[in-house]
A and B are shown apart, each in its own frame.
Chain A
């Protein structure tokens, strides 16, 4: 067998900021992964999936990066139990296409399906259903991890290596390389959602409603306008849904109730100048986004309409121009909803434009020391890189951390090691587990260096 493909490449995250150069190896199986790990140089090695993390966790300047998309087999799908055994490089998109015909649904879906299983575990991703089903790690029944010495370990959430299992969930790839996993999927009758969309005039009302009756819905998320000033400031859309059952569908939809209706219609070309998103385009976008969804209860929507409107366009991050953008996502405890308002007013006062503002109420967190979700409000802002943004984010850090909040590492691209230490009080516990399996620090990434995770 020949050795896997290897090339020198410049890598960046979805935000297209802080690129660095690494040797990228594309393994085709666990043996290739083990060989690459034991052969890694002093700058170490890290796994990379589809590059949807916004910052630098899947980069390793001067070192080795494993392109895991080569491990792309779904081994078995059990329609009765909902158990799926698959390679870590399989994307949620692929899994969904294969599992839906069996009436199986991935319980945790983030804002895009272009995420690998390995990445979903490493970042312990969450979705609109978090208040009911928790994060991705909660649905992993078993995983296979290749360790720093090239050995292979089978992990389960409550087995002999449970500590390592939970250190790997949310561990940003720094405990080893996940090569294979078994997931437990949910059963659904249809691939459609029964959606309640409500236009809500103020941010306070938006939060009150989510507190009041989110439990009635399997999925819940809200978007609000942080660009339009004056009386419409903070107006929003509350979108909540349950899986549609057969009776909810139209006769036409009923003919193919498990239809995977999620096309990618275009790829955004890389031609946009910086400054495409400014106060004016931001305002226009916010107006359209708000107007497109008048209050409507019980509408039946497909995957694209409800879950992944952005997946219609490939490489949409290019529309932000060459300087890129960042997502600022944090969670604060439920009783600190004042932080959401304060953050908003700071953003507006700084004159920054964030058009995609997503607010959600999280349910319970899980056991993983570095898992992001915990009970509280999570807010995600989306801001193009420009003057003053660094200072603004530093200011937001202070507000968020003082309230007992923390950053989401899959989005993080600019904070300080201190902020992560404060936000993740169990960081040292995680480090201890890591030290037992990677004492030499073979697994390393730009993020790990920048935030002193290792």
Chain B
């Protein structure tokens, strides 16, 4: 159960090696040790994540989870909720892909769409069902500012995040009467393994900073947040820039 000051007791991280996801779990765990379920593809990185959290006093369980294998999602989510209520669920898996490859190679484009959108929708439905039954809980989905307006340099990824964003924004309303808070998080450029070697965009940030935004959002039940916060106003302006000008912007 979440307590009066917003401390959760259990967290499910879908995308168990996500740097933002892990930073968020660690941020919650600084105050109190948690029960953590890490769902991800079995790998040394997943084992390392487990060790790292156990070092912080958390009780960690790992579950084999493959985003593309949509058929297996129901059993993964069942297992994740088998040992008790889950207070916070973070949907953190995703692929960035290479935009030039993705928009010219159908298979690559479909893979991005499946992981970032289809799989996210699938777990959203399944986790939403569990949260509805338990009558409380927080569901955090990692969207992206890339989904707010498609850019030439990043539109395949952006389109998948736009889909995710719309789905979870709607889910926010659908689950509200059941006592569940859904939070859509729109980070800007985050320095992670995913963006290694890419030229950072203005207002770039770190997984730890995004984690802080998420922790606060969960505690005060915000439903839509940007990381860093000023991106909200930047994106709000960018959405209205006329196309001829927008395409000349160095984004």
Contact B135 A21 (CB under 8 A): yes
Contact B136 A21 (CB under 8 A): yes
Contact A15 B136 (CB under 8 A): no
> Contacts A20-B136, A62-B136 given: A450-B1 contact, CB under 8 Å?
yes
Residue of B3, B5, B178 near A450 (CB, 8 A) is B3
Which residue in chain A gives the minimum CB-CB distance to B32?
Answer: A416
> Contacts A20-B179, A21-B179 given: A55-B136 contact, CB under 8 Å?
no
Closest-CB distance, A95 to chain B (whole angstroms):
30
B interface: dominant SS: loop
Contact bitstring B209-251, A, C-beta under 8 A = 1, else 0: 0000000000010000000000000000000000000000000
**With an 8 A cutoff between CB atoms, is A426 at the interface?**
no
Residues 19 to 62 of chain A near chain B (Cβ within 8 Å): 19-22, 43, 54-56, 60-62
Interface size, chain B (Cβ < 8 Å): 21
Residues in B neighbouring A449, C-beta threshold 8 A: 1, 84-85
In the complex, which of the residues B5, B9, B85, B132 has the most CB atoms of chain A within 10 Å of its own CB atom?
A: B5
Residues in A neighbouring B135, C-beta threshold 8 A: 20-22, 43, 60-63
Interface size, chain A (Cβ < 8 Å): 34
Contact A15 B4 (CB under 8 A): yes
Contact B177 A450 (CB under 8 A): no
Residues in A neighbouring B84, C-beta threshold 8 A: 449
**With an 8 A cutoff between CB atoms, is B31 at the interface?**
yes
**With an 8 A cutoff between CB atoms, is B206 at the interface?**
no
Which residue in chain B gives the minimum CB-CB distance to A11?
Answer: B179
Closest-CB distance, B1 to chain A (whole angstroms):
4
> Contacts A63-B135, A450-B9 given: A18-B32 contact, CB under 8 Å?
no
Q: How far is the CA of A416 from the CA of B5 in the complex (A)?
A: 12
Contact A389 B5 (CB under 8 A): yes
Q: How far is the CA of A55 from the CA of B3 in the complex (A)?
A: 8
> Contacts A61-B134, A62-B136 given: A390-B178 contact, CB under 8 Å?
no
Q: How far is the CA of A323 from the CA of B221 in the complex (A)?
A: 10
**With an 8 A cutoff between CB atoms, is A203 at the interface?**
no
**With an 8 A cutoff between CB atoms, is A10 at the interface?**
yes
Q: How far is the CA of A104 from the CA of B221 in the complex (A)?
A: 47
Residues in B neighbouring A415, C-beta threshold 8 A: 3
Contact B7 A390 (CB under 8 A): yes
Residues in A neighbouring B7, C-beta threshold 8 A: 390, 414
Q: How far is the CA of A54 from the CA of B84 in the complex (A)?
A: 24
Which residue in chain A gives the minimum CB-CB distance to B178?
Answer: A21
Residues in B neighbouring A450, C-beta threshold 8 A: 1, 3, 9
Residue of B4, B32, B85, B179 near A10 (CB, 8 A) is B179
Q: How far is the CA of A108 from the CA of B132 in the complex (A)?
A: 40
Contact bitstring A393-436, B, C-beta under 8 A = 1, else 0: 11000000000000000000111100000000000000000000
In the complex, which of the residues B2, B3, B178 has the most CB atoms of chain A within 10 Å of its own CB atom?
A: B3
Residues in B neighbouring A54, C-beta threshold 8 A: 4
Contact A326 B4 (CB under 8 A): yes
> Contacts A20-B179, A21-B177 given: A62-B133 contact, CB under 8 Å?
yes
> Contacts A43-B134, A43-B135, A61-B179 given: A390-B1 contact, CB under 8 Å?
no
Residues in A neighbouring B178, C-beta threshold 8 A: 21
**With an 8 A cutoff between CB atoms, is A347 at the interface?**
no
Contact bitstring A431-454, B, C-beta under 8 A = 1, else 0: 000000000000000110110000
A-B residue pairs in contact (CB < 8 Å), sample of 6: A17-B3, A20-B1, A61-B85, A62-B134, A390-B6, A394-B32
User: B residues bordering A, Cβ < 8 Å?
Assistant: 1-7, 9, 31-32, 84-85, 132-136, 177-179, 220
The 7 nearest A-B residue pairs measured at CB: A62-B135, A21-B179, A61-B135, A413-B4, A17-B4, A390-B5, A450-B1
Known interface pairs A55-B3, A61-B136; 19 further A-B residue pairs with C-beta atoms within 8 A, sorted by A's residue number: A15-B4, A17-B3, A18-B1, A19-B179, A21-B135, A21-B178, A22-B135, A43-B135, A56-B1, A56-B4, A61-B134, A61-B135, A61-B179, A385-B4, A390-B3, A394-B31, A394-B32, A415-B3, A447-B1
